[in-house]
Structure 1
Amino acid sequence: MKNYEDNFAHDHLPHPSLMARCFTGHPDFEFPQDLNCVERLLDRHIAEGNGERIAIRTFTATWTYNELYEKANQVAHVLRENLDFIPGNRVLIRSANNPMYVACWFGILKAGGIVVATMPLLREKELGVMIECAEISHAFCDYALEEALTAVESPFLKHIITFDGSGEEVSKLETLTGNKPKTFDNHPTKADSLAIIGFTSGTTGKPKMTSHYHKDILLICEAFPKHCLQPTPDDIFTGSPPLGFTFGLGGLVLFPFYFGASTFLIEKPTPELLLQAIQDHKVSICFTAPTAWRVLATKVKGFDISSLRKCVSAGETLPLKVWEDWYNATGLKIIDGIGSTEILHIFISSDESEMRPGATGKAIRGYEAKIIDDKGNEVADGTPGRLAVRGITGCKYLNSPEKQKEYVQEGWNITGDIFRKDEDGYFWFVARGDDMIISSGYNIAAIEVESVLLTHDDVAECAVVGIPDEERGMLVCAYLVLKDKNKASAEHARQIQDWFKAVAAPYKYPREIRYVEVLPKTETGKIQRFKLKNTITA
């Protein structure tokens, strides 16, 4: 084993003067300087005699904590002994949500590597950009997804190790781990050693590399889940977000394992499969996006979800109509939240006891937030402005000082969202900074128009964008997915417009309506409005 490290990632961290101000202020947020987060998330359960407790379930497999621990240790041995690996190397994971993905994630950190988790829908071009930007040297890849990865030509990527996420085939990784020891001495990382690099889903240009320390991984486990979920070892988590998305990583791996609970992983989580898992496996906590909650509300009647006690939504704002539909169908309140890849996970939310339907919530324990104007001055309650956040975690872009200066100002993370705060400290989403439509001098938030349209009986889904107009500057344009596609007509559009003007402020009505079969979405269910805008300007 080589005795030196790859310092590429640490050498490209932003200068300390450009970092967000992070603070703890509570004993729960204090961790030792010598820290490998795997020891708290996984290894301690073995040491405490809980190795036979279930860690991961799927529809076809069950892994105990001990089985996960042993497989992660074997993966770490493979890296160190077979793949010319040194601590600090960036290691990519390409797979759907399955147990081997989790074992690889832990194994990389045990060996002292930095995880770059990706989503299955990414293709050669996107993967190539990530590999070049992060100088990724190793990759673990589900063999069903290897074609796009092997097509990448890069001088940095030296090793691609395939595995079978389904557990039905013997692939390269299974062969290599077969005779490896089931114990491993974790690399002695520090609290501020980098653990993961997350690429933002930017709409233009190259995605940005966000980075997080080992201590950050544990800090978020002391924040949102303790504040809003109150997990116990008997909880079973599930959800639809990929593990390559920090919303999914937290909700489906970090939070359940931090509290000794279990997770139910679904490789292709359709609404029906989510409901089936909740019913058949007594799932108690579910994470998914607003678009999925909308569909789940229409299908839930056929399933027994009596085990479900916590419902979490993030990724984009939760429309009040979706919240109401789910509550009316189930009696359960969806916990809304806003987080970001830059800050790692949710920083504004609420639990059911303090929830205000339609509001995102309050800054949770470990964070503080305020609303500022374009000059950085805090605005009065009720006034829309830019959301600024700081707390236990913060933005650390790698190799991008200009972007770091944009996101972090005066020690605060500036998220790019427009919010307003009421006098009781609740934050209400107004718009993404680039989704504010200015038409004839009126500021119109796309989400406000969408929220009204979703209450129309004929509208299944919608997305609103601004389109250029010589007279008004911009027009409100609505893309609609109808429940009955046969109703799509110019006359029906006029009826919807007249209806809108009768139920909401007339100046906000969509002056143009376009019917579509489906809306473009990310793998996490977030509507890609920029694609609709590009269609308009093309």
Structure 2
Amino acid sequence: MINIAQKYLEDRETFQWDRPEKYNFVGDTISAWAQSQPDAIALHWTNSEGNEFKRSFSQLREDAARAAGVLKAAGIGRGDTVLAIMSREARWWEIVLGCIQIGAIVSPGTVQLKPKDIAYRLEAAKAKAIITNDALLDIVDDGIAKVNWPGVRINVDAGERANWLSYEALRKSSEPDFQVADTPADSAALCYFTSGTTGQPKLTVHRHDYPLGHKATGSHWLAAKPGDMVWNLSDTGWAKAAWSSLFAPWMVGAGVFALHCASFDAEQTLEWLEKYEITTLCAPPTVYRILVRRDISDAKLKSLSRCVSAGEPLNPEVIDLWRTQTGLRIYEGYGQTETVLLCGNFDGMESKAGSMGLPAPGISLQVIDHEGNIVDPEQEGDIAIDISPSKKPQGMFACYLDDEVRTASVYKGDWYLTGDRAMRDQDGYFWFVGRADDVILSSGYRIGPFEVESVLFEHEAVAESAVVASPDETRGEVVKAFIILAKGVEPTEALKEELQRYVKNSTAPYKYPRKIEFVESLPKTISGKIKRKELKMQEWEQS
């Protein structure tokens, strides 16, 4: 056993949630920073062409007021839902803040949506308005036509089209409106469509006090402070953008850095990390995997001092390679669209490679059995949050919109079930096993796909993999690995056998993939998570 560092224990002991009856992020937090540090940089925006601009907190407060004026001029008011289907356009930040300021409900979405997705979201969210860009006008119009939606359409770009309002034109003709809605803390502010693996996405509703739930995200996980600059690579349509591109940095007075580009580019990412004074990098595991495969030992990361990762577990080897090549540690974090940061690696605590870390300050996190009992160390169970009145953390979602059955399904008494499974060791560290429906049962053994994927990644021939259960007459299920090979590696039967031996020699032999299929790509959700369930269904349907 190890001694858990005193600093972490003190942080957990002294941490307290703010629980106001009324709260508005713009009126209470952004306005406060605009007064106390008006000239501090709140947003540093760039694009792939090298254009850039900076906004101070005082300017950001004015931008929110201008967005509020535009929204009201377009007929949008308190309680109305606005779909913001945009990328990292500079106006995204002020539009989200403007919606929050006037008490409208903002529902961010990714630019990868198709007409049927747009149609579903418009109806499911009961949207009053949709705001998007030039590139998506045709797609949105097609989606609108499918359901004959009568709402307000706003184009954030300069293009003109019938039935569409110009955001820029409204911004020029409307006066900034600094009036802040008197919003109860428990009233709806955001609506995120979760990146489900099957079926239609769930509509996760967050309250106005949701940003307060990111107090620990900003201060303990990002470890940001005034003067720091946080670059989060997440798409604005994913709730992770609310974590590290919006609420967490600004809760602690740090700045947000942004790059508006068509897609991730490893070369440009390294160039930007060297060029700009970025202190904190928040990236999904895929980005770290790509970068360490390139070997960035010679990169001049002069300002970078903090690296965090979330979305899905990160392979221990990637963490080790990153530290070897950059001298920096990656602090993993765990949470959901429905929650804030639940568990992670923080300053002042020892890390264990491959572990999810320890519960975040303010979070009572446990591993429980099917009856709701806390299980002993080294026993697998469901990850659950204690939501009893005295322990419920800030930032928990309010409900799945208009879906009482789905909402009730994630609760067991005073526990909220994340849908993930894990084990705790003797020191209290959490170890991810997999999604509750991803665990493979083979000849009585329970096998978590992530452990097998991590071992496969350690082999130089493997760029990425997804491990699922495949039907077997003798064993019920066996491990199957879908593998994307590294550049220049040829798929052969001999390589399959080599990879099988490699896994046998690296972990418990019963976990090795008895089936291997080389593929060019893997199905993923909008937020970049592998759709293991889709691959598993494919296997069972074929059988």
Same fold (TM over 0.5): yes
Moved more, 482-491 or 252-261: 482-491
Q: Quote the offset at 1:179 in angstroms.
A: 2.5
The percent of aligned pairs where both chains have the same amino acid is 31
The structure 1 residue matched to 2:62, chosen from 37, 57, 70, is 70
How far, CA to CA, are the matches of 1:206 and 1:474 in structure 2?
28
Q: Quote the offset at 1:274 in angstroms.
A: 2.4
Q: Quote the offset at 1:199 in angstroms.
A: 1.2
Moved more, 32-41 or 241-250: 32-41
CA contact (8 A) 1:41 1:254 kept: no
Aligned pairs for 1:120-519 (under 5 A) are: 120-153=111-144, 154-164=147-157, 172-220=166-214, 222-268=215-261, 269-299=264-294, 300-343=296-339, 345-354=340-349, 355-390=351-386, 391-392=392-393, 393-395=395-397, 396-519=399-522
CA contact (8 A) 2:217 2:248 kept: no
Residue type of the alignment partner of 2:213? L
How far, CA to CA, are the matches of 1:471 and 1:85 in structure 2?
61
Q: Quote the offset at 1:114 in angstroms.
A: 0.4
Residue type of the alignment partner of 1:282? E
Question: How big is each residue's C-alpha offset from its partner over 1:305-329, in whole Å with a ceiling of 9 and x where there is no partner?
Answer: 1311111111111111211111111
The structure 2 residue matched to 1:96, chosen from 87, 93, 96, is 87
Question: How big is each residue's C-alpha offset from its partner over 1:384-415, in whole Å with a ceiling of 9 and x where there is no partner?
Answer: 11110133132422211111121111121101
Moved more, 378-387 or 32-41: 32-41
Q: Partner residue of 1:13? A: none
Question: How big is each residue's C-alpha offset from its partner over 1:188-222, in whole Å with a ceiling of 9 and x where there is no partner?
Answer: 111112110111111222211111111122222x2
Residue type of the alignment partner of 2:202? K
RMSD over aligned Cα, in angstroms? 2.2
How far, CA to CA, are the matches of 2:286 and 2:489 in structure 1?
23
Given the superposition, is the C-alpha separation of residues 501 and 356 from structure 1 closer, same or farther in structure 2, using an over 3 Å criterion? closer
CA contact (8 A) 1:98 1:265 kept: no
Moved more, 112-121 or 181-190: 181-190
How far, CA to CA, are the matches of 1:49 and 1:494 in structure 2?
61
Residue type of the alignment partner of 2:301? I
Question: How big is each residue's C-alpha offset from its partner over 1:152-195, in whole Å with a ceiling of 9 and x where there is no partner?
Answer: 133555111001299xxx98100111032234211211111211
Q: Partner residue of 2:534? A: 531
**Partner of 2:428: helix, strand, or coil?**
coil
How far, CA to CA, are the matches of 1:438 and 1:327 in structure 2?
35
Residue type of the alignment partner of 1:325? L
Q: Quote the offset at 1:478 in angstroms.
A: 0.6
Unaligned runs of 5+ in 2: 1-11, 387-391
Q: Partner residue of 1:56? A: 44
**Partner of 1:353: helix, strand, or coil?**
coil
Moved more, 240-249 or 109-118: 240-249
CA contact (8 A) 2:185 2:209 kept: yes
**Partner of 2:278: helix, strand, or coil?**
coil
Question: How big is each residue's C-alpha offset from its partner over 1:105-134, in whole Å with a ceiling of 9 and x where there is no partner?
Answer: 011111210010111112112222122111
Residue type of the alignment partner of 1:320? P
Given the superposition, is the C-alpha separation of residues 202 and 144 from structure 1 closer, same or farther in structure 2, using an over 3 Å criterion? same
Moved more, 445-454 or 149-158: 149-158
How far, CA to CA, are the matches of 1:521 and 1:303 in structure 2?
30
Unaligned runs of 5+ in 1: 1-23
CA contact (8 A) 2:81 2:128 kept: yes
Over 4 Å off, 4+ runs: 24-28
Moved more, 317-326 or 256-265: 256-265
CA contact (8 A) 2:16 2:362 kept: no
Q: Quote the offset at 1:464 in angstroms.
A: 0.6
How far, CA to CA, are the matches of 2:118 and 2:497 in structure 1?
44
How far, CA to CA, are the matches of 1:47 and 1:180 in structure 2?
24
Q: Partner residue of 1:17? A: none
Residue type of the alignment partner of 1:500? V
Given the superposition, is the C-alpha separation of residues 372 and 303 from structure 1 closer, same or farther in structure 2, using an over 3 Å criterion? same
CA contact (8 A) 2:24 2:101 kept: yes
CA contact (8 A) 1:135 1:157 kept: no
How far, CA to CA, are the matches of 2:434 and 2:34 in structure 1?
46
CA contact (8 A) 1:89 1:137 kept: yes
**Partner of 1:477: helix, strand, or coil?**
strand
